[in-house]
Structure 1
Amino acid sequence: MKVGIVGDAKRAVAWERHLRPHHIVNEVELCAHINEVGKVDACFLVDESEQNLDILLKGIQQGLNCFLVSRQPTNSEKLEKIYRAVHEAGVHVQFSHWPTLAPASQWMMDRMNRPSFLSITREVNYTQFLNTEDEFRHFWIDELGLCMKWMDSGIHHTEAKQIKLEDKTPSVIHIFLRFDNGSTADIRIYTGASENRHKRIASNKREILECSVHDQDIRIGRLNSGDHLFFEKKVFDPAKSAEKAALIFLKSIQMDKETAYTAYDAYQLSQQIKVLEKRLSQFS
């Protein structure tokens, strides 16, 4: 496959290194702008600018299969245009929603389809928190996107509560979701912790999956023949996340299958963000 990478030169070179281990990639073309991309099988758009969705739309209209590498975008109107353009152009688009694309997450989602219960806790060291609304917002948006993707069900009921110290600094948020299939999920983000902790727990009637996100370690718990709970462990390399995400995208093109985090997923997430932010404005 021939792959184009569009964006800042340093970041483009870094992504080229992620692509080199994959034997299905035989040529990589680095470009500064989307209109400079020639005939390629896949295009990696590495762009954190406010215009990245506009650039992605241009790429789709050029008939390019695109992987947007950026913080998760939330502009609902632009995402709806992209979702519709993807279907019209018949191309594949993947967003770099890292909670979904991480190797441990991919393994858990394959292992446990639609868990009955999902609980996510992220505690952020207060000396590392930048105290910005945008940073805090994306903490919970990332986790919300994972819950929606993994549960793969409509949301029946939503509750959300956020606390800001002196109405200035976001300190904690709690989100509760009940899905149409009866499953539930909760997300708790706290920015005053003494150290960083990030854990995701998923469960159904057969087993428990507990993931340490920073380490990408998973504990798998189930009952043995004596009805005692025992655990085994599975370990993934966090440094391989980008490389694995690139391969997932390329394989989806090669096999003509849906990408791991689609334009539809991104659009649906943006719609649910509106619902949650309305709740937060009412009760926080």
Structure 2
Amino acid sequence: MKIGIIGDAKRAVAWERHLRPHQIVHEVELCPSISELGNVDACFLVDESEQNLDLLLEGIHQRLNCFLVALQPTDTEKLETIYRASMEAGVHVQFSHWPTLAPATQWMMDRMPRPSYLSISRDIHYTQFMNAKNEFRHFWIDELGLCMKWMDSGIHHIEAKNVLLNDTHPSALHLFIRFDNGSTADINIYTGASSNRHKRISGSRHEILDCDAPEQVVRIGRLSTGKHLYFEKQSFDPSKAAEKAALMFLKSVQMKRETPFTPYDAYQLSLQIKQIEKRLSQYH
């Protein structure tokens, strides 16, 4: 496959390194703009600007398979347009929703599709939390996107509550989600912690999966024949996350199958974000 990478030269070179180990990639073309891109099988758009969805739409109109590497976009109207345009053009689009793309998550989702229970807690050291509102927003948006993708069910009800110190500094947020299939998920974000901690726990009738997200280590809990709970461990390399995400995208293009986080996933997430932010605003 011939791959194009659009974006800042430094980041583009880093993504080229992620692509080189894959045998299906035989050529990589780095371009500052999409208009200069030649004939390629897929395109990586490395763009954090406010115009990145416009760039993605331009790529779709050129019938390019695109992987947008950026913070999860939330513009509902543009995401709906991108979803419809990608369907019409018959191209594959992937968003860099890292909680879903992480190697440990992919393994957990394969092992336990649609868990009955999902609990996510993230504690951020208070000295590391700088870019208050925008950064905080993406913390819970990322986890909400994972819950929706993993549960793969309509949402019946969401409860949301946040705590803003002096109405400006986000210190905590709690979401409780009940899905149409009866499963539940909760998300807790806290920015005043003495140390960083990020856990994702999923459960079914048969086992518990307990994931340390930064370390990409999963503990698998089951009952022994003597009915005692015991744990095994599965480890993944966090440094390989981008390389594996790139391969998942290229395999989706090659096999003509859905990407791990699609325009439809992004659009549905944006709709729920709107509802949650409306609910949160009622408390202030």
TM bin (shorter chain): over 0.9
Unaligned runs of 5+ in 1: none
Q: Which position in structure 1 is the counterpart of 2:83? A: 83
Q: Which position in structure 1 is the counterpart of 2:182? A: 182
Give the Cα separation in 1 of the matches to 2:106 and 2:173: 26
Give the Cα separation in 2 of the matches to 1:283 and 1:187: 18
The Cα shift of 1:283 comes to 3.0
Look up the equivalent residue of 1:181 and give its one-letter code. Answer: N
| CA RMSD, 1 decimal | 0.6
SS of the aligned residue for 1:211 comes to strand
Answering whether residue 206 of structure 2 is matched by residue 206 of structure 1, we say yes
After superposition, residues 24-63 of structure 1 pair within 5 angstroms as 24-63=24-63
The Cα shift of 1:16 comes to 0.1
SS of the aligned residue for 2:253 comes to helix
**Residues 214 and 238, structure 1, Cα contact 8 Å, conserved in 2:** yes
TM-score (ref. length: structure 2): 0.99
Answering whether residue 253 of structure 2 is matched by residue 240 of structure 1, we say no
Give the Cα separation in 1 of the matches to 2:61 and 2:36: 14
Give the Cα separation in 1 of the matches to 2:132 and 2:216: 27
After superposition, residues 42-191 of structure 1 pair within 5 angstroms as 42-191=42-191
**Residues 131 and 170, structure 1, Cα contact 8 Å, conserved in 2:** no
The Cα shift of 1:131 comes to 4.5
Give the Cα separation in 2 of the matches to 1:119 and 1:166: 28
Deviations 1:227-278 (A, max 9, x none): 1100000000000000000000000001000000000000000000011111
SS of the aligned residue for 2:94 comes to strand
Identity score, percent = 73
Report runs of 4+ in structure 1 exceeding 3 Å deviation: none
TM-score (ref. length: structure 1): 0.99
Deviations 1:143-193 (A, max 9, x none): 000000000000000100000111110000000000000000000000000
Look up the equivalent residue of 2:44 and give its one-letter code. Answer: F
SS of the aligned residue for 1:283 comes to coil
**Residues 216 and 238, structure 1, Cα contact 8 Å, conserved in 2:** yes
Matched residue count: 284
Give the Cα separation in 2 of the matches to 1:44 and 1:200: 29
Give the Cα separation in 2 of the matches to 1:211 and 1:5: 32
Q: Which position in structure 2 is the counterpart of 1:263? A: 263
Q: Which position in structure 2 is the counterpart of 1:274? A: 274
Look up the equivalent residue of 1:165 and give its one-letter code. Answer: L
Aligned in 2, Cα 1:15/1:137: closer, same or farther, shift over 3 Å?
same
Give the Cα separation in 2 of the matches to 1:229 and 1:36: 58
Unaligned runs of 5+ in 2: none
